[in-house]
Structure 1
Amino acid sequence: MSLLPWQEPVWQELLQRQRGNGLPHAMLLTGNKGIGKHGLALHTAQWLLCQNRSGQACGECHSCKLWAAGSHPDFLLCVPEEGSRQIRIDAIRKVNEFLAQTPQISQSQVVILSPVEVMNANAANALLKTLEEPAGESYLLLETERFGSVLPTIRSRCQRLTLATPSAAQALSWLQQQGIDSEQASLALRLNMGAPLAALAWLQQERGRQQQQWQQQLGQWSRGELALQPLAESWSKIEMSDVTSWFYLVLSDCLKARMGVPAAQQTLAGDVQALCDCATLDPAKLLTLQAKVQAVLGQLLSGLGNYNKQLLCESLLLHWQALIQNGQSPSGTI
């Protein structure tokens, strides 16, 4: 994995640490989604395993060739199992067993665990001893998009490396180098918190068209042109964290508009004004609904939310209806 331009400062920090007192056994890579944390972790892992380690992995040694083939015996990637959002205790047991072995090719063993915030309590507890007393020359590279959601017991046993979001000019330049025109790149960056990789995926997967459809449907629901059940059923077939993230952006822009923030400074560039008259919204109800949606989104992203998808979509739509009509919020929770 080659480094991205904005990763160079963190990489130089790693090299300086290695030349000085050496690297810590557990490093926690933090930063927003879509800025390349996983690519940086893979780049670091290959370098740590390289038999001719210098400023970069050599790419020529036996270790690097095994890495390129995807069959390095001293590397382990720990992620949620397919169909699950959580990292469970069985996966961490495999990590512990792996690190208890002797390296086969390289001087060390490397584990990447991503994302660390989705470990359930049992898995996190099983990892603590390994973090406290790592076996031999082993390294754990933990990735997180939500540092505050990582258990304090995990955070305290790792050294944090923060990957900053690139500047707007740097992100725009990189997207243009990928063949994206300036206007599309700017729109994608605005809708993805300035994260270049997330913006590129947004464009490649045509998520903008999907979000535009959601907006049209929400507008139709707001005007009474769509029935609740079929709309909720349609939304329930989509990844719920995607729908909820977009809905949170809608509420955030409503709040910005209610406070007089110009449309150009809103994430959706004023599109919410087509959904409702933001000036008439009750700020207290808007903040309350936004907080509820944020809590649901956090549960979904952590793999802890066991929601009935259709009921969740119906609840979101009913709470939205109550908000724009300045009526009493529906009973029950989102």
Structure 2
Amino acid sequence: MAETILPWQVSQWDQLVRAEEEGRLGHALLLSGPSGIGKQRFAKALMHWLACEQPSAQGACGTCRACHFGLENPDIHIIEPPEGKRQIGVDQVRELVGISAQTAHRSGGRKVILIQPADAMNTNTANALLKTLEEPTGDTVLILISDEPARLLPTIRSRCQRLPFPVPPKSLAQDWLKMIVTDREQCEVCLHETGGRPLAAQFLFESDGLAARQRCDETLQAWVAGEISLSQASDALKDCELDFLLEWLSQRTHHLLRAVMGGDESAVNTIWQSWRQRPAQDILAFQQQVLELRAQVQRGVAVNRQLTLESLLLSWNMPARRVGLGL
């Protein structure tokens, strides 16, 4: 188990092991919590364990025929958006319904179906899934992964056994991340930048995301100060994916609000310290705009990247010009 799940996931694992031993394991499990904390990794370890012929409390045995097949096991199925798309199609869920009605290939075994991310289902797709949730077959276990369970239909949530995954304790996250980011200060910065989410911090480090965020900060500062034009600011950020930019703005405004409303100055990036005098309601309104855009993008709504970015730059600059708090 130690090689498959993460140190901060032990309690969730033990909870499911006890439920299985006591015959209380639900036919549908909802793994929920922020992105970047390892829910997908946990789900795959769980799938192997549920399909294993000789499972133990520590996990799958790793030697039986089912374990040999791994994710190619005919009783393991993963439903996710097709390549290049953000939405799970209704036809994919209808195929899932058909799979759940079939008998498992291994006698006495179970079919395990992973839906990731469950947030990628629209209303029609989610409704197509409801029949399987309402009338489950005894040998099927559905695992849903969701970063934002509130976006799921209440009827979906109510039919699932919830397993929350909060941001792990800082000490556990640091101990794990230090094996990847050996410099202590950089390790702490990566965790701070990602709100304590270890896998997100790992990705930020490995993708040179810290330098990219610094360039974004400097571009925004130059735009607000009037040193560059809107088109120049937009052009300077052209190499950044919209997902990255929205994550950057979301995290930065979150830290700024902590400072403005709670006095936590240590949370704020140096460049953003100059905007601490802005009214909290202005920062909150801008953050809400960013979060709504992120939700649209994650749902697969087509947005014009350049117009969206320029709109955000203008929105952030307006309060500064109105009250004269640029820099």
Deviation (angstroms), 1:257: 3.8
1:1-334 aligned at under 5 Å gives the runs: 2-55=4-57, 56-67=59-70, 70-105=71-106, 107-259=109-261, 261-264=263-266, 266=267, 268-273=268-273, 276-279=274-277, 281-303=278-300, 305-326=301-322
After superposing on structure 2, the runs of 4+ consecutive aligned residues of structure 1 that deviate more than 4 Å are: none
What TM-score do you get using the length of structure 1 for normalisation?
0.90
TM-score (norm 2): 0.92
Report if aligned partners of 1:73, 1:105 keep a CA contact under 8 Å in 2. Answer: no
The corresponding residue for 1:331 is: none
AA of the residue aligned to 2:63: E
Measured in 2, the distance between the counterparts of 1:52 and 1:250 equals 48
Q: CA deviation at 1:237?
A: 4.8
For residues 181 and 284 of structure 2, the distance between their equivalents in structure 1, rounded to whole angstroms, comes to: 40
Whether the 8 Å CA contact 1:235–1:310 is kept in 2: the answer is no
CA deviations over 1:179-201 (Å, ceiling 9, x no partner): 52211111111111111111111
C-alpha spacing 1:179/1:288, structure 2 compared with 1 (3 Å) = closer
Q: 1:74 to 1:114 in 2, by over 3 A?
A: same
How many angstroms apart in 2 are the aligned matches of 1:99 and 1:91? 13
- Asked if structure 2 preserves the Cα contact closer than 8 Å seen for 1:165 and 1:194, the reply is yes
For the 8 Å contact 1:236–1:309, the answer to whether it is kept is: no
**8 A contact 1:34–1:195 mirrored in 2:** yes
Identity %: 34
Question: Structure 1: how far apart are the matches of 2:224 and 2:259?
Answer: 18
- Matched residue type, 2:60: A
In the alignment, is the contact (CA less than 8 A) between 1:37 and 1:163 conserved in 2? yes
Q: How far apart, CA to CA, are the structure 2 residues paired with 1:179 and 1:327?
A: 42
Q: Is 1:253–1:270's contact at 8 Å kept on the other side of the alignment? A: no
Distance 1:64 1:263 in 2: 50
Unaligned residue ranges in structure 2 (runs of 5+): none
- Per-residue CA deviations over 1:200-256 (Å, capped at 9, x if unaligned) read 111011111111111111111112222212432453553212211211233333434
Which ranges of structure 1 fall in alignment gaps of 5 or more residues? 329-334
Offset of residue 24 of structure 1? 0.8
Contact 1:85 1:302 in 2 (8 A): yes
Letter in 1 for 2:319: L
Cα distance in 1 for partners of 2:258, 2:168 equals 24
State the SS of the aligned residue for 1:238.
coil
Are the equivalent residues in 2 in contact too, given 1:236–1:313 (CA < 8 A)?
Answer: no
Does structure 1 retain, via aligned residues, the 8 Å contact 2:219–2:233? yes
Describe the superposition over 1:3-39 as per-residue Cα deviations: whole angstroms up to 9, x where unpaired.
Answer: 2111111111101101112311100011221111111
| Backbone CA RMSD of aligned residues | 2.0
Q: Take 1:254 and 1:7, find their aligned partners in 2: how far apart are those partners?
A: 30
2: CA distance, partners of 1:258 / 1:325 = 19
**Matched residues in 1 for 2:312 and 2:174: separation?**
34
Cα distance between partner residues in 1 of 2:233 and 2:272: 19
Go from structure 1 to structure 2 and tell me whether the alpha carbon gap of 1:19 and 1:255 turns closer, same or farther (over 3 Å shift).
closer
Q: Which amino acid aligns with 2:271?
A: D
Distance 1:318 1:172 in 2: 37
